[in-house]
Chains A and B, each alone.
Chain A
Amino acid sequence: MRGFRGWLVGILLLVAAWFVAAATPDGEARMTDPFRVTASLGTPAVGDNLAVTVRDVVVSDGVTASGGWQASGTWVVVDLDAWTVRAESPGAIGVAYLVLPDRTIAASERPLTLDRTATLLDSRLHVDIPQAGSLAFEVPADAMTGAAVLQIAQDNGAGPGDPALSLEGDSVIELPLSLSDLPRVSDRALVRTGWVSP
């Protein structure tokens, strides 16, 4: 196939590829989107290899953690059970975010200062053996209105700095929240990571 016919076939293939690209939703921009699993309070939500049951979500004006760590401020505290589905490596909640209308806040690592088991963040999880624990988000006091989404996922190696990177290519468990409807307490003790009691 030489000359005119070769050029013709090449151009036709390019046009066909353009149609395929045009028919793909948002083109390549969506190729690495996470698989979203919507959770509800008290019901297991199962992702690719991570599963959680969110037990409770409260707003607290201060938190205390195992090891004696404590802090004041406005905190969203999430109590949950977590386990893995297929494998134990990777087997941890690597990233968790609270997506507010105007900003995204990563789960705080501050409570882990004195005790690495003070929250479930980065705790080793086990296949089909739940562990109970907490996640804590330190939020601005004026941000507690409107809708929010709690996002929980494994760590894909990108770290928590940029959710667009750290959530890509994996499943993410999402719990929709109404911030103004969350119960408010003056202080909250985080659940130290441990086996779920029957």
Chain B
Amino acid sequence: MGQPVTRAWWRRNAVALAVLVVLVPAGLFALDTLEFGTVRNAERPVAVGASTSIADWNFGPVTIEPVDAAEVGAPSGTEPVVVTIRVNRGHRFLGCQAPRIVEPATGRSWMSVTALDWAPPVGAQTTCTSRTGIPYDLVALVLLPNGVGDDLVVELSTGSTAAGGLDLRFAVDR
């Protein structure tokens, strides 16, 4: 194919090689420092009413149920809802963040709200921490403005990609 790599070749390309010696480590350092390598988890869509597994964990099905706005002290013009995700914990450690509701049509998203007068139902949890093998409901109170559509996605981020985590995207038709 090309010319053989001889001593003369090394001499001819000495400057370019010296530049590479500097730039390659500098590039790797920049990647690490500037967090270019920080990417979102891979996503896994889950159909309405379905569940899914990560290792020996099982997530789903997911429901979104309205709660009484006056009861929790929600402002007028809003719709408080409770997101419930059935979780069966596995043996491997797998963290998760509180679920959030995404409206695919607009890209808007809402997280759990703590400023309202609400407590999780008995037996339900707001984190993924639990004893192995005992199914439970992962719940979050989310405050939506009026006018949010019915086709929603509940997103649950389960740990980092490096740790085998995924962003689960449960379709919900409420």
Q: How far is the CA of A89 from the CA of B111 in the complex (A)?
A: 8
Interface size class of B (residues with CB under 8 A): 10 to 19
Q: Known contacts being A124-B115, A198-B76, A198-B77, is A129 close to B143, with CB within 8 Å?
A: yes
Selected from A86, A91, A196, the residue in CB contact (under 8 A) with B75 is: A196
Mask for A181-198, Cβ within 8 A of B = 1, else 0?
A: 000000000000001111
Number of A-B contacts (CB under 8 A): 36
Selected from B75, B76, B110, B114, the residue in CB contact (under 8 A) with A127 is: B110
Chain A residues within 8 Å of chain B by Cβ, number: 15
Q: Known contacts being A129-B78, A195-B75, is A88 close to B107, with CB within 8 Å?
A: no
Residues of chain A lying within 8 A (CB to CB) of residue B115: 124
The secondary-structure label for the interface of chain B is loop
Cβ-defined contact, A86 with B109, below 8 A: yes
Closest Cβ of chain A to B155, distance in Å, is: 11
A110 in the interface (beta carbon within 8 A): no
Q: How far is the CA of A89 from the CA of B102 in the complex (A)?
A: 13
B108 in the interface (beta carbon within 8 A): yes
13 sampled A-B residue pairs with Cβ under 8 A:
A85-B108, A86-B109, A88-B110, A88-B111, A89-B111, A124-B114, A126-B110, A126-B113, A127-B108, A127-B110, A129-B143, A196-B75, A198-B77
- Which 5 pairs from chain A and chain B are nearest by CB? A195-B75, A128-B145, A88-B111, A198-B76, A127-B108
- Chain A residues in contact with chain B, CB under 8 A? 85-89, 91, 124, 126-129, 195-198
